[in-house]
Structure 1
Amino acid sequence: MVLSRFWLVIFISSIAFIVFSLFSGDNYTIDHLLNGKKDDPILVAEKYLEQVPAVIKDSITKAPDQTMVINSDTTYVYQNKTVKIYSGVQKSDGLLATCKSTLVDLILPLIAYLAFFCGLMELLIISGASGKLAQILSPVFVKVFPSVPENHPSISYMTLNFAANFLGLDSAATPFGLKAMESLQELNPEKDKASDAQIMFMCLHASGLTLIATSIIGYRAAANASNPADVMLPCIITSFIGTITAFLIVGIKQKINFKSASLVVSLMVLIAAIIGLLFYVNQLDLIGKNYFTSNLSALILIAIIAFTLVFSFVKEKKFTEANTTVFESFVVGANNGIKTGVVIFPYVLAMLVAISLFRNSGLFEIISNWIAFIFSNMGVNKEITDALPVAMLRPFSSAGSRGFLIDSMNTFGADSLTGRLSSIFQCSAESTFYVIAVYFGSVNIKNTRYALGTMLLVDVICVITAIFVASWFF
């Protein structure tokens, strides 16, 4: 219900603002809101040749392509007896372009990932590997997810999802997570309403605990940062605090026993593992850090694939008993992955087209500028307020916030506080609305209860934490 109302508010407010801007003269045309592409120049006016200043008139008629650029921002194009004036660029794809890109650039690749990893998951299920993993981790998971029975398959799926997130393996994390949601849905007595276990899983997943921020390091390296990996520790600290916060908020709501010995021991082991790995990475030189971070995640993913195939081969008798083969089981799992991708497409599409209108209408930019203005008047460092657009857009769109991240590093420098803080913002949280749409949409849950509110609160806490951590480190 909350998600539905929020979606409607974004859509209706954006449309109202677009209509107001058109009739007030702030927008010359709204065609780009429907058909435009990201970074396309925006048409702001059209005049007859005699109406433009004489110096522009002379220059544009003499130019070979009858085009004139002023201050690299405004472009005059003489065509069909009129001069079209373009200024600024479009923030994201228009509504119709978003519909196409959602299918071509997002859903089709996602379906391919789902097909492959769901095929592997089917092998893990039939071979018994997922059951053994669930059996090992049950003592901890039954404390965090009291409604989940011991040795339930969802435990192994959630573990693989957390591990993939932890290592920055986004392509693997989503299929594992969707499989976990499907498995938890089997235990859900109210099929259209999110269960406690599903909310806990979603909030822990969305808190974004990441150890190897491979993509962020790559963006910083491309922006010529002196040490692309220097934001690793701040990213880990921020995302870890976000995860603990999510666990505490949901745990208090669900009355989880935080004094459980197995829970405390597991948390201590996790913290020790993070600290140990940080100490190891910290003693490496720049080339060593880059080599380590770029290879660890890939090696672990290959190891998971290899283990699944080898274990399935060793336990081939179980496939025979199930009247199937390893290959056929993989194909069945892949087919299920494709079906899941088709199911979630409308949910993702609905959310992304709303975000497209919200960004291109100019409403998001106005809200962002006002928030930055308020913070600046409160005495907040300008380098911090310059990074806020990344934090604000991150819950809505990973691609959009990534664009702001790259722009902030190009504008202010990768080694500036703004560039580093933007990197931490990008790394330490999930695209909340996208995740909500994908995961709950995959199991047709309409009532997300307090999941969205909790995830947005964790996003805010991650932003505040990132500011303090970045200021402390840099």
Structure 2
Amino acid sequence: MLNVLWLGFFLVAAASGLFQWLVLGNAHIFSDLITSLFDMADLSVKIMLLLLGTLTLWMGFLKIAEAAGLVRGLARLLGPLFLRLMPEVPAGHPALGLITLNFAANALGLDNAATPIGLRAMHALQTLNPKPDTATNAQILFLVLNSSSLTLLPVSIFMYRAQQGAPDPTLVFLPILLATSASTLVGLLSVAFMQRLRLQNPVVLAWLATGGLLLGGFMALLASLSAVAVSALSSLLGNLVLFGVIIAFLLAGAWKRVAVYDCFIEGAKEGFEVCKNLLPYLIAMLCAVGVLRASGALDLLLDVIRWSVHTLGLDTRFVDALPTALVKPFSGSAARALMIETMQHTGPDSFASLLAATVQGSTETTFYVLAVYFGAVSIQRARHAVGCALLADFAGVLAAIAVCYWFFA
């Protein structure tokens, strides 16, 4: 899928360039395309330099959290909930521990740890599968919730906004939190409907009710504030939560007698290794998106959508962020490149850029997750997994649009 998408960007850009030259008489179009290629390659290196420092720093702190047992503690906390949501998985089965570890790692932003743990969880669930080529209910629920992108600390989004010159990179903290909550809730409810899960179980109800009350009370508080106050609160909480988590990691490490400095260095080395391998992918996608924009094809598509939205009498400011939303289910790197390109084109604090960042932080690369997790255990029949995962993505995009109009309009 990624090969087709990347090649398609260049072929569409080539066709648009020929149209600009032969029909519209734009003799400079191919010069613009080449300039865009080199500009985006240069931008990729600049982004990577900031990413190198940010990822190395964050991976160091996260290593301390792992060593202090915080991830295992979250796993124990979530265990009773997943035991009820996956009734076909026996109590005490290793899959439940791996599933809770995976979600805890995702919530903390431990992407490098979350995927290997998730694959081990899928293999553990496969040992209970009576039809090895068909996804079980537990595997589907695990995958849909995994693809709903519930991340409490979207550090990478903050980093990209900082690199593009945003004066307050954490401004999108609350919008992402609200939108990703909506995505996860819709994913859970859609799977529960398809699988006839008993959400009225006291443990499940306690979790859902607690989460609903906290989220509802928080939204009621936000509704009582002005737009300026809401933006200020998002900025304050984003920075406060991020720094508070770092201090909590350090204190937990010290309490558990972890050699925090040595542990930080070990995690930072892992972050360095992860980061340096991302540069080729970042260059590939940013250059492809750059020539697509320079050719006029992307602007033409957005103009058509904008005209359609305007005809319906709706506000059109969200249209410039749609490329990120449309590509995200297929490729995280392509969506990231489109988000960065939107920031370059409209400014990091424009409505379109803020919305693109919120969409990027509250949706997931659904087809990639499906391919990796189901492919790892040779599942061919996904049943209702695709529909439920895409519905969660759609809910995340709609919620992101609604929340951004609430916060930033």
Aligned to 1:205: 149
Cα-to-partner distance string for 1:51-84 (whole Å, 9 max, x where unaligned): xxxxxxxxxxxxxxxxxxxxxxxxxxxxxxxxxx
Q: Which amino acid aligns with 2:275?
A: G
Aligned to 1:155: 100
State yes or no: 1:27 paired with 2:26.
yes
Give 1:205 deviation, angstroms: 1.0
The answer as to whether partners of 2:85 and 2:197 remain within 8 angstroms in 1 is yes
Paired with 1:208 and 1:312, the residues of 2 have a C-alpha distance of 21
Paired with 1:3 and 1:454, the residues of 2 have a C-alpha distance of 22
State yes or no: 1:97 paired with 2:39.
yes
State yes or no: 1:13 paired with 2:12.
yes
CA distance change for structure 1 residues 330 and 187 in 2, over 3 Å: closer, same or farther? same
The answer as to whether partners of 2:366 and 2:390 remain within 8 angstroms in 1 is no
Paired with 2:21 and 2:379, the residues of 1 have a C-alpha distance of 36
Give 1:123 deviation, angstroms: 1.9
2:304 to 352, 361, 370: 370
The answer as to whether partners of 1:206 and 1:430 remain within 8 angstroms in 2 is no
* Secondary structure class of the residue paired with 2:144: helix
Any stretches of 5+ residues in structure 1 without a counterpart? 37-93, 165-172, 224-228, 320-324, 410-418
Cα-to-partner distance string for 1:159-209 (whole Å, 9 max, x where unaligned): 3643x6xxxxxxxx4xx233312322344549xxx9857743552217999
Give 1:23 deviation, angstroms: 3.8
Q: Which amino acid aligns with 2:63?
A: E
2:360 to 403, 427, 430: 430
* Secondary structure class of the residue paired with 2:27: coil
Aligned to 2:331: none
Give 1:398 deviation, angstroms: 1.9
Any stretches of 5+ residues in structure 2 without a counterpart? 127-134, 329-334
2:292 to 335, 358, 364: 358
The answer as to whether partners of 1:144 and 1:256 remain within 8 angstroms in 2 is yes
CA distance change for structure 1 residues 3 and 454 in 2, over 3 Å: closer, same or farther? farther
- What number of residue pairs does the alignment pair up? 367
Aligned to 2:66: 125
Give 1:144 deviation, angstroms: 6.0
The answer as to whether partners of 2:190 and 2:388 remain within 8 angstroms in 1 is yes
Q: Which amino acid aligns with 1:134?
A: A
* Secondary structure class of the residue paired with 1:99: helix
State yes or no: 1:181 paired with 2:125.
no
Paired with 1:459 and 1:349, the residues of 2 have a C-alpha distance of 26
State yes or no: 1:338 paired with 2:279.
no
CA distance change for structure 1 residues 5 and 312 in 2, over 3 Å: closer, same or farther? same
CA distance change for structure 1 residues 256 and 13 in 2, over 3 Å: closer, same or farther? farther
Paired with 1:306 and 1:408, the residues of 2 have a C-alpha distance of 29
Cα-to-partner distance string for 1:2-29 (whole Å, 9 max, x where unaligned): 3433333233222333234334454312
The answer as to whether partners of 2:182 and 2:396 remain within 8 angstroms in 1 is yes
The answer as to whether partners of 2:363 and 2:396 remain within 8 angstroms in 1 is no
The answer as to whether partners of 1:10 and 1:354 remain within 8 angstroms in 2 is yes
Aligned to 1:400: 341
State yes or no: 1:387 paired with 2:318.
yes
The answer as to whether partners of 2:103 and 2:146 remain within 8 angstroms in 1 is no
Aligned to 1:327: 261
The structure that is strand-richer by fraction is 1
The answer as to whether partners of 2:59 and 2:270 remain within 8 angstroms in 1 is yes
Give 1:262 deviation, angstroms: 2.9
CA distance change for structure 1 residues 271 and 155 in 2, over 3 Å: closer, same or farther? same
Aligned to 1:300: 241
Paired with 2:280 and 2:63, the residues of 1 have a C-alpha distance of 25
Aligned to 2:220: 279
The answer as to whether partners of 1:344 and 1:442 remain within 8 angstroms in 2 is no
State yes or no: 1:314 paired with 2:255.
yes
Aligned to 2:332: none
Give 1:247 deviation, angstroms: 3.6
TM-score, with normalisation over the residues of structure 1?
Answer: 0.60
The answer as to whether partners of 2:324 and 2:356 remain within 8 angstroms in 1 is no
Give 1:97 deviation, angstroms: 2.3
Give 1:434 deviation, angstroms: 9.1
Cα-to-partner distance string for 1:324-348 (whole Å, 9 max, x where unaligned): x332222111111222223333333
The answer as to whether partners of 2:64 and 2:263 remain within 8 angstroms in 1 is yes
Cα-to-partner distance string for 1:217-274 (whole Å, 9 max, x where unaligned): x9xxx99xxxxx9x99988765544333334456667886655543332222111111
CA distance change for structure 1 residues 339 and 433 in 2, over 3 Å: closer, same or farther? farther
CA distance change for structure 1 residues 248 and 182 in 2, over 3 Å: closer, same or farther? same
1:265 to 165, 182, 206: 206
Cα-to-partner distance string for 1:83-131 (whole Å, 9 max, x where unaligned): xxxxxxxxxxx223222322321x3322322222222222222222321
CA distance change for structure 1 residues 467 and 180 in 2, over 3 Å: closer, same or farther? closer
Give 1:279 deviation, angstroms: 3.3
- Larger Cα-atom Rg: 1
Paired with 1:440 and 1:180, the residues of 2 have a C-alpha distance of 15
Paired with 1:340 and 1:442, the residues of 2 have a C-alpha distance of 19
CA distance change for structure 1 residues 432 and 351 in 2, over 3 Å: closer, same or farther? farther
Paired with 1:102 and 1:281, the residues of 2 have a C-alpha distance of 37
The answer as to whether partners of 2:147 and 2:363 remain within 8 angstroms in 1 is no
Paired with 2:27 and 2:387, the residues of 1 have a C-alpha distance of 37
Cα RMSD between the aligned structures?
Answer: 4.9
* Secondary structure class of the residue paired with 1:205: coil
